[in-house]
Copies of this chain bind each other. A is one copy, B any other.
Amino acid sequence: MAQINDHFLKLKAGYLFPEIARRVNAFTEANPDAKIIKMGIGDVTEPLPEAIVSAMHGAVDEMANRDTFRGYGPEQGYDFLRNAIVENNYAGMNIDADEIFVSDGSKCDSGNILDIFGHGNKIAITDPVYPVYVDTNVMAGNTGQADESGKYGGLLYIPVTEENEFVPAVPSEPVDLIYLCFPNNPTGTVVGKNVLKKWVDYAKANDAIILFDAAYEAFVTQDDIPRSIFEIEGAHQVAIEFRSFSKNAGFTGTRCGYTVVPKTLMGTTSSGEKTSIHSLWNRRQSTKFNGVSYPIQVGAAAAFSPDGKKQIAELISFYLTNAGLLRAGLESLGMKVYGGINAPYVWLKTPGSLSSWGFFDDLLGKTNLVGTPGSGFGSAGEGYFRLSAFNSRANIEEAVERLKKFFA
């Protein structure tokens, strides 16, 4: 009798974004003329930069010619891309090209990474948080059941709210795996090196490993804000970093990301021996993954060409200007607004006593704007709301106008 993985049954019914889609579809059916502006899911809207498009065409042509055709590539990614990543994103950080594992996206990696860890680990996440960290731990059997507020037993939830200025406090108890994401999804906030240093020191003291999600690093505009955990001394002994081409190069539908696993990072076996996390991840990827499509890797590498860098900088600037317009518009209405300076997300307090979903329904009904309820990211997100700056300028300006009428 084929037994299923019972832990899946603990998962709450709806993943956040399908639930948003369901409500929007229902509203659209009832109001077919409504001009919906979607600022919910953090999906880019602008086309791929020309340098990337051109490189992908070239790679497709290589695949059309016997002499330049590529079959199976290295599971870890081609050297041309691994080298470009290190040279451009990790210069001076003591990261080697063979510590870069190219993948088809950061979401996959941040889920799959649990394959190499055991089941007795105590897991810490911030709250609110990117739901994939939680759900993949539920699936892996690292949690108990969810309580009424949606919190799973066995996880340590670290609140990040306006009360602590969105700075996650190092726990007073030991944990084994820690998920951190900066610039943060969903709050759009960042922390300084001093905060990350505390976490690195904590991890070192507790033999813990930090899973650092830096998918939004390209949006950092302030010089003193770290873009990588590996800017912090000691991080090479305690951290894995996830990065993506999705939000900077516009790869949400093109698919490419990577994970950085320093060779100095060690985990512990059940008999107490230290073992290389890099070797485990390499074995995992070699066995369960077959590398990223060649034309996509060529496109990703073009993000680091002179033209590619210039075009990506323009894209980032475009989205950050959107975020600034949203922030300014909301602030002019007396709203409490966070994020949007070093991140493409604006995080706001819902007005009055409205719940996150209450505000969602109200906003959708009265302004036809779609955002993301903060409570969908965890119970500490209740009373907050996320707006994504990934949109056309015209839509952002129109959204600000509608918000002004809504709050007038």
Q: Which residues on A are within 8 Å of B, measured CB to CB? A: 1-6, 8-9, 11, 15, 18, 41, 43-48, 50, 53, 56-57, 60-61, 63-66, 69-73, 104-105, 107-108, 111-112, 115-121, 132, 135-136, 139, 174, 176-177, 206-209, 250, 252-255, 267-270, 275, 277, 280, 283-284, 286-296, 392
Contact = CB atoms under 8 A, between A and B. Distances in A.
24 contacts: A1-B208, A2-B176, A3-B119, A3-B121, A3-B269, A3-B270, A4-B269, A5-B118, A8-B116, A8-B280, A15-B283, A18-B286, A44-B71, A45-B66, A47-B65, A47-B69, A72-B252, A104-B293, A111-B287, A111-B288, A135-B287, A255-B290, A255-B291, A293-B296
A372 B287 CA distance: 18
B70 A253 contact: yes
Contacts of A283: 8, 11, 15
Contacts of A72: 41, 43, 252-253
B66 A46 contact: yes
Contact of A118 (B6, B11, B177, B253): B6
B176 A1 contact: yes
A63 B253 CA distance: 9
A283 B65 CA distance: 39
Given A64-B47, A255-B292, A288-B136, A5 B69 contact: no
Nearest to A208: B2
A290 B104 contact: yes
A268 to B, nearest CB: 5
Contacts of A2: 117, 121, 176-177, 207-209, 267-268
Nearest to A3: B118
Contacts of A176: 1-3
Contacts of A9: 269, 275
Contact of A293 (B73, B250, B253): B253
Given A15-B286, A290-B255, A293-B293, A267 B69 contact: no
Scoring A48, A135, A177 by chain B CB atoms within 10 A of each residue's CB, the highest score goes to A48
Given A2-B267, A56-B295, A287 B104 contact: no
Copies in the complex: 2
Contact of A60 (B15, B57, B280): B57
Contacts of A132: 287-288
A125 B288 CA distance: 17
A3 B41 contact: no
B269 A6 contact: yes
A221 B47 CA distance: 44
Contacts of A48: 60, 63-64, 69
A296 B135 CA distance: 28
Nearest to A211: B2
Contacts of A289: 107-108
Nearest to A48: B63
Given A2-B267, A254-B295, 14 more contacts: A4-B117, A5-B115, A5-B280, A18-B286, A45-B69, A48-B69, A53-B61, A71-B252, A104-B293, A107-B290, A112-B288, A253-B293, A255-B291, A295-B295
A324 to B, nearest CB: 21
A63 B44 contact: no
A392 B66 CA distance: 10
Nearest to A6: B270
A3 B66 contact: no
Scoring A47, A117, A132 by chain B CB atoms within 10 A of each residue's CB, the highest score goes to A47
Nearest to A297: B253
Nearest to A206: B1
Query: Closest 4 A-B residue pairs measured CB to CB?
Result: A3-B118, A111-B288, A4-B267, A43-B71
A255 B69 CA distance: 14
Scoring A3, A207, A286 by chain B CB atoms within 10 A of each residue's CB, the highest score goes to A3
